Chains A and B, each alone.
Chain A
Amino acid sequence: MSGARVFLVRGLSKTYRMGEVEVTALRGVDLEIAEGELVVVLGPSGSGKSTLLNVLGGLDTPSAGEVRWRDEELSHADDATLTRFRRDHVGFVFQFYNLVPSLTARENVALAAEIARDPMTPEEALGLVDLSARLDHFPSQLSGGEQQRVAIARAVVKRPDVLLCDEPTGALDIATGRRVLSALAGVNRELGTTAVIITHNAAIAAMADRVLHVHDGGIARVQRNERRAVPEELAW
Chain B
Amino acid sequence: MTALWSKLRRDLWHGRGQALAIAVVVACAVATSAGSVATARALNRSRDLYYARANMPDVFADATRVPAPVAARLAAIPGVAELESRTTGDGRVSWPGGSARVRVSSVSAGGGRLGTLRLRSGRLPGRGEAAISEGFAEAAGLHPGDRLSLVVNGRLQPINISGVALSPEFVYALPPGGLFPDDRHFGLLWMAPKDAEAALDMQGAFDEVVFKLVPGASAADVIGAVDPVLLPFGGEGAYGLDRLVSNRFLSDEITQLDNMATVLPAIFLGVAAFLVSVTLSRLIASQRMQIGTLRALGYGSNAIGLHYGSYAAAIALAGALAGLGLGYAFGAYMSRMYMEFYRFPVLDYRADPRAMASATALALLAALVGAAGSVRRAVRLAPAEAMRPPAPGRFKPTLLERTGLARALLSLPSRMSLRGLARRPVRAALGTLGIASSVAVLVAGAFFGDAMDFMLRLALEDALRADATVTFIHPVSHAALDELARLPGVRAVEPVREEPAILRAGPRSRRVALTGMPPGAELSRVVGEDGRPVPIPASGMVISARLAQLLGVRPGDRIRVELLDGRRAVGELPLAATVNDVLGLSATTSLESLRRLAQLGNVVTGANLSVEPASRDALQRALDDRPSVAAVAWRSVTITAFRKTVAESLLAFSGMLVGFAVAIAGGVVYSAVRSSFSERSRELATLRVIGFTRREVWRVLVGEVALQLVLALPLGALLGLGLAALTTHAFQSDLYRIPLVIDRSTWVFALGVTAGATLATSLVALRWIRRLDLAEALRSGD
Q: Which of A87, A94, A101, A138 contacts B691 (CB 8 A)?
A: A87
Q: Which of B392, B415, B691 contacts A115 (CB 8 A)?
A: B691
A-B interface pairs (CB < 8 A), number: 93
Q: With A and B bound together, what is the CA distance between A87 and B693 in angstroms?
A: 9
Q: Which residues of B contact A230 (CB under 8 A)?
A: none
8 extra interchain contacts, Cβ-Cβ under 8 A, other than A59-B774, A60-B775? Answer: A50-B779, A79-B694, A94-B686, A96-B781, A100-B683, A101-B683, A110-B412, A139-B392
- A102 and B423 within 8 A (CB): yes
- A140 and B687 within 8 A (CB): no
- Interface check A24, CB cutoff 8 A: no
- A140 and B391 within 8 A (CB): yes
Interface size class of A (residues with CB under 8 A): 35 or more
Q: 6 interchain pairs (CB within 8 A)?
A: A94-B686, A100-B687, A102-B416, A102-B420, A110-B412, A114-B412
Q: With A and B bound together, what is the CA distance between A138 and B694 in angstroms?
A: 25
For window 57-97 of A, CB contacts with B under 8 Å fall at: 57, 59-60, 79-80, 83-84, 86-88, 90, 92, 94-96
Contact bitstring A108-151, B, C-beta under 8 A = 1, else 0? 00111011100000000000000000000011100000000000
A92 to chain B, nearest CB (A): 5
| Chain B: interface residue total (CB-CB under 8 A) | 33
B408 to chain A, nearest CB (A): 13
- Interface check B41, CB cutoff 8 A: no
- B415 and A98 within 8 A (CB): no
- B393 and A102 within 8 A (CB): yes
Q: A interface vs B, CB < 8 Å?
A: 50-51, 54, 57, 59-60, 79-80, 83-84, 86-88, 90, 92, 94-96, 98-104, 107, 110-112, 114-116, 138-140, 154, 158, 166, 171
- Interface check B688, CB cutoff 8 A: yes
Q: Which residues of A contact B13 (CB under 8 A)?
A: none
- A111 and B395 within 8 A (CB): no
Q: Which of A94, A110, A154 has the most CB of B within 10 A?
A: A94
- A103 and B416 within 8 A (CB): yes
Q: With A and B bound together, what is the CA distance between A51 and B775 in angstroms?
A: 8
For window 751-779 of B, CB contacts with A under 8 Å fall at: 774-775, 778-779
- Tell me whether chain B's interface is mostly helix, strand or loop, or mixed: helix
Q: Which residues of A contact B396 (CB under 8 A)?
A: 138
- Interface check B692, CB cutoff 8 A: yes
A84 to chain B, nearest CB (A): 8
- Interface check B682, CB cutoff 8 A: yes
Contact bitstring B679-691, A, C-beta under 8 A = 1, else 0? 0001101111111
Q: Which of B392, B685, B691 has the most CB of A within 10 A?
A: B691
Q: Which residues of A contact B682 (CB under 8 A)?
A: 98
B14 to chain A, nearest CB (A): 15
Q: With A and B bound together, what is the CA distance between A192 and B335 in angstroms?
A: 80
What are the 6 A-B residue pairs with the smallest beta carbon separation, nearest first? A87-B691, A98-B686, A102-B419, A101-B392, A86-B691, A102-B395
- A140 and B775 within 8 A (CB): no
Q: Which residues of B contact A158 (CB under 8 A)?
A: 691
Contact bitstring B161-202, A, C-beta under 8 A = 1, else 0? 000000000000000000000000000000000000000000
For window 674-722 of B, CB contacts with A under 8 Å fall at: 682-683, 685-694, 696
For window 384-435 of B, CB contacts with A under 8 Å fall at: 391-397, 411-412, 415-416, 419-420, 423
